Amino acid sequence: MAIKIGLLGFGTVASGIPFLLKENGEKITAAAKDDFEIAKVLVKDDEEKNRLLAAGHDYNFVTNLDAIVEDPEIDIVVELMGRIEPAKTFITKALQAGKHVVSANKDLIATHGKEIIGLAKEKGVAFYYEAAVAGGIPILRTLANSLTSDKVTRILGVLNGTSNFMMTKMVDEGWTYEDALKTAQELGYAESDPTNDVEGIDAAYKAVILSQFGFGMTIDYEDVSHQGISTITPDDVAVAQELGYVIKLVGDVRETASGISAQVSPTFLPKEHPLASVNGVMNAVFVESIGIGQSMYYGPGAGQKPTATSVVADIIRIGRRIVDGNVGKSFNEYHRPTQLANPADVKSGYYFSLSVPDKKGQILRLAEIFNGEDVSFSQVLQQRGDGKQAKIVIVTHALSLTQLDNVKAKLKAQSDFTLLNSFKVLGD
């Protein structure tokens, strides 16, 4: 008798699940030791139901969640609706009804994951969400299973395909931020309101989840500092290239002596760094660990088939555990008390772009400010001024977040200095 599935939603990703179950049926059945059947599909209303039936989708479409959660024959509920509500309510009801749940909802998991995972544990059911980070890249299962014998020290990731597409256009073709965003929206990569993608919010959600799997600690979303790409100018891109770097929006989760830190920010990557070559809508996760050293996991971060592939992998794992009688284990079994890092322990190089009076002595003034916080220069570039203002670019050696805040405060206190941009630099 087949393991029955209830789908919540039938959008792009959800409609890819039947395709995979059919196309790879033999392999899936062998892995799960049973067949799968999509028993019911929840849709918004009768209008959507009739539209899908007319389009040739021959499934048992229902418009009431109870038709799924109260069906004793349905074992697994798959939530692919997106957004926090009503997804949170629906998942909660499914878990309370004793259903196993698969989701790709990073927003929900990052903000309410503790509660949902706790409920699943209480009910002795599975809650899996491989597709919530980097779509088609099996990074969570890799961290949870393949790297259990290793100690992860840092995770860097290009985690948002929309912002990475835009940065690729800005770097490779010299586009402005505005032109890149317009094209991304026209191609369907960016929403009409692109805030989550371009301001680093989406990547910050994923950083929360990566902190759980890589380090056993759950960072709250509010504790992930995030800066987006909207302030990056063609001048910043050109200077980065001149100095041997590529700008990417990078998530950075690391463990220091005092605890864990998570940031999302535009980052100057050395051109030879593996993440620097991740272009277009692709994602990649770069892991540093004491055993393997460095490893990178690369692939599409979104799309119907890549994301559906990760979702179906979760379905298979749950199905196999149902058959073996050991279902209910947490997706991630690595847990430690969460300890946030002291800002003084979180260190990186930084890029500063400043507008200063076009007269002698300005680099000396800057050197005094930075030296006062015990920060040294790695590179200094002074661009030709117009007789009134000149632009100076500084790349520092590693400084702490505490030093960074102090330097910025001192620069802003100078009435004739303007801090144009400041970004993290990987290296040093």
Three-state DSSP at 259 gives coil
The answer to whether the peptide bond before residue 86 is cis (omega within 30 degrees of 0) is yes
Question: 12-17: long-range contacts at Cβ-Cβ below 8 A with a sequence spacing of 24 or more?
Answer: 12/304, 13/80, 13/104, 13/131, 13/304, 13/307, 13/308, 13/311, 14/41, 14/78, 14/80, 14/308, 15/57, 15/304, 16/304, 16/305, 16/307, 16/308, 17/78, 17/308, 17/311, 17/312, 17/315
Question: 139-143: long-range contacts at Cβ-Cβ below 8 A with a sequence spacing of 24 or more?
Answer: 139/210, 139/213, 139/285, 139/297, 140/209, 140/213, 140/331, 140/332, 141/313, 142/297, 143/210, 143/213, 143/214, 143/287, 143/332
Whether 250 contacts 269, CB under 8 Å = yes
Question: Does residue 198 come out as left (phi exceeding 0), alpha (psi in the -120 to 50 range) or beta?
Answer: alpha
3-state DSSP helix/strand/coil % of the chain, to nearest 5: 40, 25, 35
- Catalytic site residue 206? yes
DSSP alpha helix (H) spans, 216-303: 234-242
Task: Spell out the residues 6+ positions from residue 33 whose beta carbon is closer than 8 angstroms to its own.
Answer: 319, 320, 323, 324
Of the candidates 206, 248, 391, 424, the residue annotated as catalytic is 206
Three-state DSSP at 223 gives helix
Active site positions, annotated: 206
